[in-house]
Amino acid sequence: MKLAVPRRHRSIALAYLLLLVLVVVGRIVASGFLGVDHIDELIDEGALIGFVALGQGFVILAGGVDLSIPWVVTSAGILVTTFTGTNSSNMLWDVPLIIGLAAVVGLINGIGVVFLGVTPIIMTLGMSTVVEGALLLYTNGSAGGNVPHPAVFLATHKIGQVPVMGLAWLVLIVVVTFTLSCTPFGRRLYAVGLNRRVALFSGVDVKLVTCSVYVISSCAAAFAGIALAGYVGQSYLGMGDPYLFTSIAAVAIGGASILGGTGNYIGTVAGALTLSVLNALLPTLGFQPAVLDIVYGMVILVAVAAASLGGRARTD
């Protein structure tokens, strides 16, 4: 008797298989690729992608996309350095404020999509421009400042032999996986992504769920921005730019449908780590960093095509 494996489990397994293949290739071409310090670096960079992809994944599950992520990441990184300065105790107030401001951005995105009927691409792209303009006005086109020690500790320190950022990511993995798999909100989110009309007739508050995922996306991006500032040791304009297509690609590699309704954060974790390993591997193989942009584009195109063909097959 042949045991049937759910399609979502196959997608996740393939994502981890791809990660394993890349790790093996890295070990073959570079003897120090699996050194402790390099593994820690891969985990930290994977965590940064994973933080951003967390929120993007929620939005994609609901059938949308968030293009405002780069400037939310940038804003959070810059604000944590300009608000806090050298007084680390200010982070007790500044971090909730920064996350709160990000939540407002997400809420505006959600309101625009739900109540004004603006398509997610247009709404979030427009909001990205608004955030960019507001940040440029606030900084007068320049950025900088000391990164507070707690942000540096989060991004670069260890507890024992384990990176602090890796531990923070592990906590988020557990919380997000539980939320998606075992809570009413998770079930409603999947229902909205699969079919909004059916979800509405089933009593799901589609508007509330949709607004919520954009708020989650912005808050996750803001947290990533704070961690990124600690990781690189400074803040600068455009620091969040690499995380737009990275976040979408991580979700797609993890087996989620780019059109919504299917996916899991466990798969997204594999996608984030895969991109982290690939980013480290390409220079070793003699490829320019621009090749990674080609990979992002190809992954997204293949994911959209696969989701479109799958949806067409279900309706035939």
The per-residue DSSP string of 167-196 comes to: HHHHHHHHHHHHHHHHSHHHHHHHHHHH-H
Summarised one tens digit per residue, pLDDT across range 124-135 is 999 999 999 999
**CA-based nearest residue to 79, from 277, 71, 313, 57:** 71
How far is residue 27's CA from residue 34's CA, in Å, rounded to a whole number?
6
The separation between CA 28 and the C-alpha centre of its own chain, rounded to angstroms, equals 29
Domain count, the chain: 1
Query: How confident is residue 257, by pLDDT bands cut at 50, 70 and 90?
Result: confident
Tell me the C-alpha to C-alpha distance, in Å, between residue 267 and each of 15, 34, 96, 184, 260: 7, 22, 29, 21, 14
Asked if residue 299 is part of any domain, the answer here is no
Task: Provide the pLDDT for residue 139.
Answer: 83
Task: Provide the pLDDT for residue 312.
Answer: 44
Asked if residue 139 is part of any domain, the answer here is yes
Summarised one tens digit per residue, pLDDT across range 32-87 is 788 888 888 899 999 999 999 999 999 999 989 999 999 999 999 999 888 776 66
State mean pLDDT over 134-152. Answer: 81
Query: How confident is residue 288, by pLDDT bands cut at 50, 70 and 90?
Result: confident
Query: How confident is residue 194, by pLDDT bands cut at 50, 70 and 90?
Result: confident
Summarised one tens digit per residue, pLDDT across range 158-174 is 888 888 999 999 999 99
Domain assignment of residue 146, given as a range: 35-243+257-264
Task: Provide the pLDDT for residue 82.
Answer: 85
Q: What is the DSSP letter of 117?
A: -
261: phi then psi, degrees, rounded to nearest 5: 95, -25
State mean pLDDT over 239-266. Answer: 87
Asked if residue 286 is part of any domain, the answer here is no
How far is residue 69's CA from residue 133's CA, in Å, rounded to a whole number?
14
Summarised one tens digit per residue, pLDDT across range 199-240 is 888 888 999 999 999 999 999 999 999 999 989 888 888 889
- Dihedral (C-alpha) 74, 78, 80, 86: value to the nearest 10 degrees? 150
Greater confidence (258 vs 46) lies with 46
Q: What is the DSSP letter of 163?
A: E
Asked if residue 151 is part of any domain, the answer here is yes
Check: CB of residue 235 under 8 Å from CB of residue 81: yes
Q: Taking all residues of the chain, what is their mean pLDDT, rounded to a whole number?
A: 85
Q: What is the DSSP letter of 4?
A: P
Asked if residue 293 is part of any domain, the answer here is no
Burial of 6 (0-12, 13-18, 19+ CB in 10 A): exposed
Asked if residue 174 is part of any domain, the answer here is yes
Task: Provide the pLDDT for residue 304.
Answer: 66
Task: Provide the pLDDT for residue 262.
Answer: 83
Check whether 2 has a pLDDT greater than 50.
no
Task: Provide the pLDDT for residue 315.
Answer: 43
Neighbours of 115 (CB within 10 A): 11
Greater confidence (92 vs 2) lies with 92
Q: Bridge partners of 158?
A: 163
Asked if residue 288 is part of any domain, the answer here is no
Q: What is the DSSP letter of 311?
A: H
How far is residue 210's CA from residue 192's CA, in Å, rounded to a whole number?
8
